Amino acid sequence: MKNVKTLIAAAVLRLNFHLPAFAAVEVQATPCRSTKVGTISANAGTNLGSLEDQLAQKADEMGAKSFRITSVTGPNTLHGTAVIYK
C-alpha cells in the first residue's frame, strides 16, 4: 500500500514539473472574451509556416494569449500582420 501511494505521489509531482508553457494560440475569429491589445508584423521567407511561427513568437513576447493573422503579402518574401489579444 505504501508503494502505491509513493508511485501516485511521484506521478503527480512529475506532471507538475512537465506542464507545457502557455503560448499564444492562433485563432480564426475574434475571441469573444478577449481584449484586442495591439498589432504585430513579421517578415519571413517563402514558407507560410515560418511566418506563423514568427508571429506567434512576437505575440508571446508581448504577453498575448492569442493572435489572429489579418494579412499576408509578398511574392517571394512573405510579410504578415496579426491582431493580438489578452
CATH of domain 22-85: 3.30.1660.10
pLDDT in tens, 19-54: 344 577 777 676 767 788 999 999 987 888 999 999
Average pLDDT rounded to a whole number, residues 54-66 = 92
**Could you identify the residue written with the cell 469573444?**
32
Threshold 0.75, pTM exceeds? no
Range with the poorest average pLDDT among 7-16, 20-29, 51-60:
7-16
Average pLDDT over the chain, rounded to whole? Answer: 78
Q: Given strand 36-44, what is the order of strands in its sheet?
A: 25-26, 66-73, 78-85, 36-44
Instruction: Fill in the DSSP letter of residue 3.
Output: H
Average pLDDT rounded to a whole number, residues 47-64 = 92
Inter-residue contact 37 to 84 (CB < 8 Å): yes
